[in-house]
Structure 1
């Protein structure tokens, strides 16, 4: 009894800091159990994020660290393999700590095997970014194999810091960004074409010769950005850049601290870029500059340095003339930056500068004082300047007290004086030790020539501090300055729970959420991590209900644009209908409802079916759709039905026919047990999708109803289902594209046989006789072959896409092509071999379809494995296609490089019926 009373006295409470307070005695075992309650509540929330979000998070990590997350849990085991970014760097493995325990050679082998394993296991459909940085020397075959794998997966951004590059890199269609370096000679192959490349970054590489460099740049037709950084130019005499789409060009050479350096610019620079907007040149003075057609140039940064050794070889005027050529070539520029020895070189040229009429902003920062003397002449050449930034140059200029040319003195004086007057909040200006006094801004009457640089410097610094202070103050609360409608628009992208949470930010935000026209309720945000049936779940369900009630009561937007209600738990039908009623009375335009309802007699709020404002309606999931007697949705354009149960034929037909402006209808995984005739009649329907849940061929849930469709404006039709009991498709004269995926149920075949269902598919093909783009998947080819039926002629089909499940269907391909006399393109994305193995069953017929002889111009086959049956079918198509222009074959991902080379050689030897046909294997 005493132990029982003690057990009754034991209690615990969870505080806000998640600690447990115990009253009375308790064993260590009981303590661990009670702690486990709290531990279970603290679930790993990051693991509950969607797979795409987790992949996006891992994409910011090096691949070594991303792969390491596979040990966290079973969910994380293969997530890294879906990340579209691969980042390999051997320095992460060859760290100093590892070098103590292992020799470099062992770690190098470890890095190579790591990269190989990752590339084998990685299964993202395509690579967005591939980075490979190798500080150690590796076999060129290894490095090239890694690069090849990246190119095979249609990599878009490629960053290589390796001692060699793969030749096919320069013939990649998918590449958008390419960065190459470091310390290797860039040997450009004879064949170069990078049709999609927009950014090229070359760093610390050695160019081999003039021609190959020019060929590389000119073979990038859409190149917009070109960066050449600290590259070796010993083999270059004329650096020619010709790119008609180029917008940004930066050439930066290594300038050594020693002015007697022998590494200087011994080549001529030629640039032809009519769309160039930004130009940066940083290096020694070149042997010449030939800039033509730079009519779009907006900003130029010119930093040239004079090598004393070069000046000793030639006179100063020579290199001054070179810089003068440079300035003449950029005469259309609007923003000009001159740094380094640029001013000195222009002064030493002894020639007059050209007039730069378009320059409105000029920035000067020179290395030597002698360049300051050229300022008056430079200002004379920019008559329309509006802003002048002379930075540190000002102190050199004023302290030297040079004589100012009269027609420039006024402009410079006004510039300096207006700059000082703009500093209103400074009460006094210090004129320095030379004058020894302080003056107010309004009292100052001295001449510009007597101003010490100290006063100007202090005024600018103070003004800059004030400007930064005000800018930071505005940035801290910058969002509050946005218009009310913009803030509402921002909140409309958040779930209502988070939008309401912003009311505590400030008085401005207190009632802002109530004006947001979008309402998004999801009980998972509140019931996150709770076990169904627990007491806490029940409490939170009540909390969610009261939250929705309060929001709908306080919401005061004039109308509701979008209302989304998603409930994972069961709620009272009257409560759910009350929420829907509020949305309908709020003149909702887009309504998305997703909630389970176990009560089979449940009926949606009847006012929903007579809403005049509703444009978009999505209903789901797991409840019987009981359509009321009165239905009329006069504005509804889009209807999505997902995982609901239809009650009967009449109510379903009544729902569809009562939407006079319905344009899109989607029926996904809906229950059809009570349906015998599924009729869709909509005069302006443009898109129709019927997709049922197909589990396996022995499923008893198969299509026991007839499908009737009467939609004269239908343009797109997708059917994914078991073979129906019948098809009556009439008046589909506007049909452009159709996707048909049918499955055979073994129990149904045993009942009625192939011929019966072949006739059903024949009805379906006759109903879509006007289609132009046709997709056939699943068991479609097998059904048509085994039914022994003659297909109708589909004169309008120009594109055919086939994705079959089994090998047997390919025997029917000639008959199918025979029914498509005007076919232009044939696409086989799933290949010719079934995913479960085996070979393509193909026996060459004695006759050739008309389309092969007269009009078929393009054939694409993916997942090619090089099996005997595949070669037979490819040979038949290639040999008989008389007007074929492109035959493209993509290999299976599991093939090795040697196997691919063997296949490509064998394909190229096959006879071709068309003299102009190009066989492309990738």
Structure 2
């Protein structure tokens, strides 16, 4: 009776039920009756994750059964596969061919330990329906001669190695409506130069950290980098977090409003100071800006670079990321502060300090007296230099409304440390404040 009532449900509801079942349960429905087999022809969503299975072979068997069941379906719109490939590359290539349908709209492929080539079906690269594509694969992506993603809005590539020749250039100029591009630790070692040309691109995130493979190839073949030109008529958000592996050139007629330049100490043949300045000059109209202590230090080493730091007339929020409390008198940091007359919020990730016998901060950035309302300090460890900086800031911002201080958990994880933290908090509360309305929030 229960079974017959279930079968009486509309096809759309039955297909939704199948789509949301765990894969091993879903595959069992295919042997219940002919009606259930027919429902698979209309299924629109399928998510397969090896991590949800205790046994690898069980997962492989389930996926293979599902591949056979949906082989004739043309309705699959959303497909996700998470799998450690190993020596199963041939099997995975069959899965890719079987599951990636011509009308796919959302595709997520997350592969670990890819030792042999994987091949995405060629029709995927000329899809008229694909809107979101995420690929994690530490290997070369094999690209066909024809590439045109008519509807692709978001593209995320993680650990992908781009091939040489014209195919990589074709990939990065064949997405006319792409709005978001995320490149995480991708390798450009086969590419000398490329132009990223997406007229509708609004958000670009790039992370490139050196790994063991990069260091080995660098030692073997000598230093190399790719020159990457980015054309973004509508780019609003730019985020770079990396080790100066490749060189970037941006041409953005419309102003970027949210930019982050997180460069880190690395053995790079690129000049860190010029790299940072080149980007900052493009981002002179930002409303939100982030950079690292290393970026500030690289600029501070060369006076001519300091002199060319732009004026940030629209900057409202500044975020400084460091490995230890950044010295407030750092030349580049002070220049940015002095060149940001409307700055409202400053966040110091891992803190800020003033050296006891350091250079005086004179003149004071104008924004401190006219606009600064919020200061955040994350990773506070309670050093004397940090306390000096907090005292100075409380005395320098007459419009300050809130001063957030978030502690470094590793520094205060014992009973004695907890008592020390209470003492520090009481001391900070007792500091004189030029803003009577300022609220100090301690966590």
TM-score higher than 0.5 = yes
CA RMSD, 1 decimal: 3.5
Note the C-alpha offset of 1:545: 7.3
Note the C-alpha offset of 1:761: 0.7
Aligned to 1:880: 396
| Secondary structure class of the residue paired with 1:914 | coil
Instruction: Tell me the alpha carbon deviations over residues 399-437 of structure 1, each in whole angstroms, 9 at most, x when there is no partner.
Output: xxxxxxxxxxxxxxxxxxxxxxxxxxxxxxxxxxxxxxx
Of 7, 11, 36, which residue of structure 2 is paired with 1:484? 11
Contact 2:316 2:342 in 1 (8 A): yes
Matched, 1:782 2:317: no
Contact 1:685 1:714 in 2 (8 A): yes
Task: Report which stretch shifted further, 839-848 or 894-903.
Answer: 839-848
Note the C-alpha offset of 1:860: 1.6
Aligned to 1:607: 123
Aligned to 2:310: 792
Note the C-alpha offset of 1:574: 6.8
Equivalence map 1:187-198=2 (5 Å): none
Q: Distance in 2 between matches of 1:777 and 1:819?
A: 17
Matched, 1:547 2:65: yes
Q: Distance in 2 between matches of 1:687 and 1:921?
A: 34
Aligned to 1:424: none
Give the structure-2-normalised TM-score: 0.83
Contact 1:742 1:780 in 2 (8 A): yes
Matched, 1:657 2:173: yes
Give the structure-1-normalised TM-score: 0.42
Count of residue pairs the alignment pairs up: 426
Q: Distance in 1 between matches of 2:23 and 2:122?
A: 26
Aligned to 1:711: 232
Note the C-alpha offset of 1:918: 3.0
Note the C-alpha offset of 1:760: 1.2
Q: Distance in 2 between matches of 1:824 and 1:724?
A: 33
Q: What runs of 5+ residues in structure 2 fail to find an aligned partner? A: none
Q: Which structure has the larger Rg?
A: 1
Q: Distance in 1 between matches of 2:282 and 2:367?
A: 22
Instruction: Tell me the alpha carbon deviations over residues 34-82 of structure 1, each in whole angstroms, 9 at most, x when there is no partner.
Output: xxxxxxxxxxxxxxxxxxxxxxxxxxxxxxxxxxxxxxxxxxxxxxxxx
Q: Distance in 1 between matches of 2:356 and 2:19?
A: 53
Contact 2:204 2:238 in 1 (8 A): yes
Aligned to 2:199: 683
Equivalence map 1:486-635=2 (5 Å): 486-503=13-30, 509=36, 511-522=38-49, 528-529=54-55, 543=61, 546-553=64-71, 555-556=72-73, 558-570=74-86, 576-577=92-93, 579-583=95-99, 585-595=101-111, 597-599=114-116, 603-635=119-151
Q: Distance in 1 between matches of 2:433 and 2:313?
A: 26
Aligned to 2:429: 908
Note the C-alpha offset of 1:851: 1.0
Matched, 1:814 2:334: yes
Note the C-alpha offset of 1:775: 2.3
Contact 2:23 2:48 in 1 (8 A): yes
Name the CA shift for 1:736/1:919 in 2 (closer, same or farther; >3 Å). Answer: same
Of 831, 852, 873, which residue of structure 1 is paired with 2:368? 852
Q: Distance in 1 between matches of 2:49 and 2:440?
A: 53
Q: Distance in 2 between matches of 1:763 and 1:773?
A: 17
Aligned to 1:75: none
Instruction: Tell me the alpha carbon deviations over residues 867-922 of structure 1, each in whole angstroms, 9 at most, x when there is no partner.
Output: 21112212222222132222222344343453233223322333333343333334
Contact 2:324 2:350 in 1 (8 A): no
Note the C-alpha offset of 1:498: 2.9
Aligned to 2:350: 830
Greater relative contact order (CA < 8 Å, ≥ 6 in sequence):
2
Name the CA shift for 1:642/1:920 in 2 (closer, same or farther; >3 Å). Answer: closer
Equivalence map 1:126-145=2 (5 Å): none
Instruction: Tell me the alpha carbon deviations over residues 823-873 of structure 1, each in whole angstroms, 9 at most, x when there is no partner.
Output: 11112243337xxxx999964322211111211111122332322111221
| Secondary structure class of the residue paired with 1:665 | strand
| Secondary structure class of the residue paired with 1:784 | helix
Name the CA shift for 1:689/1:889 in 2 (closer, same or farther; >3 Å). Answer: same
Task: Report which stretch shifted further, 718-727 or 501-510.
Answer: 501-510
Contact 1:732 1:770 in 2 (8 A): no
Q: Distance in 2 between matches of 1:890 and 1:545?
A: 47
Matched, 1:763 2:275: no
Instruction: Tell me the alpha carbon deviations over residues 775-804 of structure 1, each in whole angstroms, 9 at most, x when there is no partner.
Output: 224632332333442221111110112221
Q: Distance in 2 between matches of 1:794 and 1:687?
A: 20
Task: Report which stretch shifted further, 821-830 or 508-517.
Answer: 508-517
| Secondary structure class of the residue paired with 2:301 | helix
Note the C-alpha offset of 1:684: 0.5
Q: Distance in 1 between matches of 2:162 and 2:327?
A: 34
Contact 1:666 1:689 in 2 (8 A): yes
Note the C-alpha offset of 1:656: 1.8
